[in-house]
Structure 1
């Protein structure tokens, strides 16, 4: 009994250390989001060994470029006004932002669909993605669904409804996995992977709509043309600066897939795509969850307590870094063998790619929440500059690899080194900006 009480005290102390302090609210919200994301990602992880035995590396290559294209286009159709949803104190202002974002999303998604219908093969050929031409309609559907889900989750973040977001993460991941496996068994390839990916990214829209439909109806009367123009002008920085910033940010995240597809064959691209998919899971489970929770908490207290935001951000990054180091070390030393046993002998190259990238993902993982806080500083031009530097750096890495005719392993190693340096630098810069703001506020 004495040992049991000591054990309980240890766990209680751990809980207070991890979920207490200035960042306690963030980590409690993060825990809820991470639980949902974690269950959803576990479903995805369990399914990967099945999927790798149903679909070929070439099919995964198509999935990788499809996911990359949707990831680039989806954030742009709202002109990033959607990011301002958690900020207004009045629901009426937020409702006008939601209406503005919805109108932009529907109009620009329709324009994308029309452009792909009329000249999809030509347009996709400009970025070496002709393989997606038959699935142009699915690209448009994926963009619309992903953008809608982002918009509704940001409204949920405004309400701190982390449990609802967590529930949708589970249901859409399960539904997407069922679609991928079911259509794969029926030999619908690679369409099964693509349809399943759309469901996995946007399958929670219905649940979120049902949850907040009453609020939308109650606040609908606040919407007017004059108020729409007012919120559009007030938050114009998101459209002017954040749209190109977001494009460059997502492009730089997806650029490795584009460059690999351009430099190497479909099988190598598929191997790299599986490696990136596996490594993105911890970022999605904890890094993005922490980012949403941190943004939701910080947006409520930033004006009154900027010093507390600084403390929260520092605690979040240190704790995430500690969480990520052990699994990264395992992947670094045993990645090839783990992929061999988990996914089959034909996927050993993906494991080798994973080993090279593992520690770069650690710093991306710990920095992801801090990047969300850039919205609070309202210095969107700096965010644009950061993403210009990242995009230029990646272009130099891969173009140098092409010019020197380097093999895929060497190019991926270069990519990993650059990514590590970049995220270390961006973390230091963001924390410096917040410390400088804190010092200015204290001096007043």
Structure 2
């Protein structure tokens, strides 16, 4: 009986391993959220959200997007040189950002229209560096199939974040607790994943300037096309925080931040785990000429089908759920979350399938689509900001996300049909 319940394929086992760790990792922030909303004010969450948005935008390109190429080479020697190349780019970008913050600090504060972020702006470059390191370590451990360690790293990160944010929150109610938890937890997670790489001393000795230049040229499409695409993508996803902060202030930004966090945590439970295994699986299928189309169709059907009911239930009851769990003051955050549900339903599937772009080198068209996506969402939010109607802006933002993600899913499937090799 127990044998029947065990995963039958390696793919399923790997998904289960990562999902187990990610489930625990995502459950911790969800569990402490009702406490955090009583320890920290919406303004605190607003400043924290602005900080995270800035880190996310630059962190997404910290390695020149070379981390995505780590999975592709057949030789580990090439992969470790890609890792080293990405690390050097990460250090250079982080130092450049620090210089920019020091020189143009007051200008940035004026552009962001938020004086509370002033002190924390100096920590953005360091946080970007940590995110860049984590992305490199994450993909290299994925290549090594160290799924247990990846799961543990996610758990460590959540536990440390929770402990720091709660501890400081009880002592001093300010943004320092939220930001400190984020930074310290990233250090712990990076340390865990780094051990699997530094223990292979022989492989590390194969890192050289000549080989790094060689892999940089071989995979030059990643910084050339994927970096602009990543900037557009992260700008698009972080745009609400930036614009809401500018037009409506830290309090409204805090309400949106909690709404977005509560929605993305359970969604991230599946996407982060499934996406890594999906990338590994379709890369394997391509290299071994296994039928991709049948696999992709099955994945799309299951993702859209299984996720419909929970998203539908959430859409109906979210405002009441927020009021009960986080307190009556946070009902408006539930209303914001309700508006975003349709977009997230499709994004859940689309974000996993987006790995097809990497495997089949379709960054050029993906970048063009992302430009359109960013522009449409930008004007949607600006329209709401100009009319001083935040809910209208979020509705238009969500609607544009539904339409564009639908097109993307159709396009991803067309790529497989055209390039499927058996």
TM norm. shorter chain > 0.5: yes
Moved more, 206-215 or 129-138: 129-138
- Partner of 1:357 in structure 2? 340
Alpha-carbon distance, 1:107 to partner? 1.4
- Partner of 2:230 in structure 1? 246
Q: Does 1:279 align with 2:298?
A: no
- Partner of 1:407 in structure 2? 389
Please, what TM-score do these two structures have when normalized by structure 2?
0.95
Match of 2:278 among 294, 319, 322: 294
| 1:214-237 alpha-carbon deviations (Å, 9 max, x no partner) | 12x221222222211111111110
Match of 1:371 among 340, 348, 354: 354
Match of 1:186 among 165, 171, 191: 171
Report the secondary structure of 2:174's partner residue.
coil
Q: Does 1:416 align with 2:416?
A: no
- Partner of 1:346 in structure 2? 329
Looking at structure 1, the residues matched to 322 and 94 of structure 2 have their Cα atoms a distance apart, in angstroms, of 38
Looking at structure 2, the residues matched to 57 and 382 of structure 1 have their Cα atoms a distance apart, in angstroms, of 39
Root-mean-square deviation over aligned CA pairs: 1.9
Q: Does 1:260 align with 2:260?
A: no
Matches within 5 A, 1:12-411: 12=4, 24-215=9-200, 217-305=201-289, 307=291, 309-403=292-386, 405-411=387-393
| 1:246-287 alpha-carbon deviations (Å, 9 max, x no partner) | 110111111111111122132111111100001111221101
Task: Give yes or no for contact 1:180–1:193 (8 Å, CA) kept in 2.
Answer: yes
Looking at structure 1, the residues matched to 279 and 129 of structure 2 have their Cα atoms a distance apart, in angstroms, of 24
Please, what TM-score do these two structures have when normalized by structure 1?
0.91
- Partner of 1:432 in structure 2? 414
Structure 1 residues 311 and 164, CA, compared in 2 at 3 Å: closer, same or farther? farther
Looking at structure 2, the residues matched to 130 and 69 of structure 1 have their Cα atoms a distance apart, in angstroms, of 15
Alpha-carbon distance, 1:202 to partner? 4.6
Report the secondary structure of 1:76's partner residue.
coil
Alpha-carbon distance, 1:110 to partner? 1.2
Alpha-carbon distance, 1:306 to partner? 5.0
Structure 1 residues 78 and 129, CA, compared in 2 at 3 Å: closer, same or farther? farther
Structure 2, unaligned runs of 5 or more: none
Looking at structure 1, the residues matched to 367 and 147 of structure 2 have their Cα atoms a distance apart, in angstroms, of 29
Task: Give yes or no for contact 2:51–2:120 (8 Å, CA) kept in 1.
Answer: no
| 1:84-143 alpha-carbon deviations (Å, 9 max, x no partner) | 001111111111111111111111111112221232231243243543221123212211
Task: Give yes or no for contact 2:51–2:124 (8 Å, CA) kept in 1.
Answer: yes
Looking at structure 1, the residues matched to 341 and 187 of structure 2 have their Cα atoms a distance apart, in angstroms, of 28
Task: Give yes or no for contact 2:90–2:132 (8 Å, CA) kept in 1.
Answer: yes
Looking at structure 1, the residues matched to 106 and 356 of structure 2 have their Cα atoms a distance apart, in angstroms, of 39
Structure 1 residues 199 and 296, CA, compared in 2 at 3 Å: closer, same or farther? farther
